Amino acid sequence: MSQKATVAQKAFPPSLPGLLIDDAVRAALLEDLGRAGDLTTNATLPEEATAKAVLSSREAGVICGMEFARKAFILINPDVTFTALVKDGVRVKPGDIIAIVEGNARAILSAERVALNFLMHLSGISSYTARFADLIAHTHARVCDTRKTIPGMRTFAKYAVKCGGGSNHRFGLDDAILIKDNHIAVAGGVAKAILAARAYAGHLVKIEVEVDGLDQFDEALSVNADVILLDNMGPELLEKAVKINAGRARLEASGNIAFDTIKAIAETGVDYISTSKITMAAPTLDIGLDIELK
């Protein structure tokens, strides 16, 4: 096998541009520091005080957001040392230490909440995603996110989904065409909407259409939709769609996705299962920061 083929087949870990992280963390710090800075810390600690803090997970989960946490401390004081003991995407147990922070005590305490907010939120998404992904690991289906994300946090939420073993759906309205029921209603039908989209889109833009029954599904197949979203269909109907499809289009299931339903849905043979729950309903992962007393 050639080196080129080997590289193409390798699954690289997810990553984010540093500038995006810098801007998000800086904005969060400015929001927290307000007009006068950390009154509590500045009033109770001498300027020269130093400290060592330990960040640890208080429950099992998948870590995400380590670089966000590091930036929070470094942007307050570049002399603070942040030693990450795990990488994003690593599974942890209750009590596992994930990082050690040392340096100026004021800087550590002033950055604490912003660092933890990012870590807890993003690790919550990656942990919740992993729970869904684990349930369908025996199938070829992949659990995907949606555009239902907290405004301003979409890129980071989708990064967390990848860290948890999920896949990303489109990032916005501009990177793929997804024809939904309201588009179909105005366009005058599934086929008309797909044909209009194909005439409009560039050759690299994928066209997906949402259908809610086998009649619309057959219509989407007749005009060669790239991806067909099977909305709110039970396992029996999904199995019929997979059989009719015979590999022609990629199939995505959506609606009524939960821990107790996703396994049966994946076993029907669909390629993707999308749910907003992994970005909108994920509880935060409990992570704490504790000062080590001398």
Active site residues per annotation:
113, 148, 180, 210, 231
What the block records as the tokens of 260 is 């107790």
Question: Taken in order 227, 252, 131, 68, is the CA torsion positive or negative?
Answer: positive
Distance CA 88, CA 97 (A): 14
Q: 50, 66, 64: which is closest to 109 by C-alpha? A: 50
End-to-end CA distance of the chain: 57
DSSP structure string for 227-253: EEEEET--HHHHHHHHHHHTTSSEEEE
Which of 209, 197, 275 lies closest to 241, judged by CA? 209
Strands (E), 171-219: 177-179, 207-211
